[in-house]
Amino acid sequence: DSGVTQTPKHLITATGQRVTLRCSPRSGDLSVYWYQQSLDQGLQFLIQYYNGEERAKGNILERFSAQQFPDLHSELNLSSLELGDSALYFCASSALWTAGNTIYFGEGSWLTVV
Amino acid sequence: AQTVTQSQPEMSVQEAETVTLSCTYDTSESDYYLFWYKQPPSRQMILVIRQEAYKQQNATENRFSVNFQKAAKSFSLKISDSQLGDAAMYFCAYRSPISGSRLTFGEGTQLTVNP
């Protein structure tokens, strides 16, 4: 158990809908990362937050947004869903944002868009 | 931008034998970190081992060790005494001290362990 908690574990929704994925980082970790893992794109970095502030942005679509709250949990919002958004979405956390800190992953949220 | 390449989509090994998974990366940075993560069928991403670029000594964690060749930009993972539980997808990853310290992953190598 990495200590990173993601909910829901599985989600099935229809095209055009909006969903919210939730992440609780390891106790004390200030940095949260979101990754998308799909069959054809591999593991893609979406976005990083550090202590409530956006720190880095990767290949995140405009239809997607995220935030980190004062209690350090994070949410990834996916809207106007398309079939191609079906993927495993990982949240990960590290103590600080610096590279020497190990990144620990949650178990992921499986999103299926039908 | 940094890139990570795993040239072996699939590998297999007999139980109790040794296998080496390859990884190369491209970077202009001198200071960085390298990781191997394991993803079993449960899809959980599990850290296997990490290597700091400034350290010349290769990292070792029990049956797992790396061969880090900084000049060649190579970072291979050796699994000794392979066990059935080692069967998984293995990802090599690069982490830069800049760019938000995100992890950049390779494509992965699917390891099968035969009894």
User: How many whole angstroms from its chain centre is CA A65?
Assistant: 10
Q: H-helix or E-strand containing A90?
A: strand A87-94
Nearest to A2 by CA among A99, A95, A93, A110: A93
Which chain B residue is nearest to residue A47, measuring alpha carbons?
Answer: B102
Q: Mapping DSSP to helix (H, G, I), strand (E, B) and coil, where does residue A41 land?
A: coil
Rounded distance, CA A65 to CA A75, Å?
A: 8
Output the CA–CA distances (angstroms, integers) from residue B1 to A89, B32, B95, B104, in the order listed.
23, 13, 11, 10
Show the tokens assigned to A58. Answer: 């990767």
Residue corresponding to tokens 């919210």:
A20
* Shortest alpha-carbon distance between residue B59 and chain A (Å): 14
Cβ atoms of residues B103 and B94 within 8 Å: yes
Q: Phi and psi for B11 in degrees, rounded to 5?
A: -140, 155
Low-confidence ranges of chain B (pLDDT < 50): none
Q: Provide the 10 A C-beta neighbour count for residue B47.
A: 16
Residue from the list B52, B101, B107 with its beta carbon closest to the beta carbon of A98: B101
Contact A104 B42 (CB under 8 A): no
Contact B101 A90 (CB under 8 A): no
Nearest to A27 by CA among A67, A72, A61, A69: A72
Residue A79, chain B, CB below 8 Å: the answer is no
Residue B110, chain A, CB below 8 Å: the answer is no
Cβ atoms of residues B113 and B84 within 8 Å: yes
pLDDT tens for chain A, 114 residues long, are 889 999 999 999 999 999 999 999 999 999 999 999 997 778 999 999 999 999 989 989 999 999 999 999 999 999 999 999 999 999 999 987 776 778 999 999 999 999
Assign residue A72 a region: left if phi > 0, alpha if psi is -120 to 50, beta otherwise?
left
Per-residue confidence (pLDDT) for residue A99, from 0 to 100: 67
3-state helix, strand, coil in chain B (%, to 5): 5, 50, 45
Cβ-based neighbours of A52, under 8 Å, separated by 6 or more: A68, A69, A70, A72
Q: Provide the 10 A C-beta neighbour count for residue A41.
A: 11
Cβ atoms of residues B7 and B24 within 8 Å: yes
Cross-strand bridge partners of residue B95: B33, B103
Rounded distance, CA A99 to CA A113, Å?
A: 34
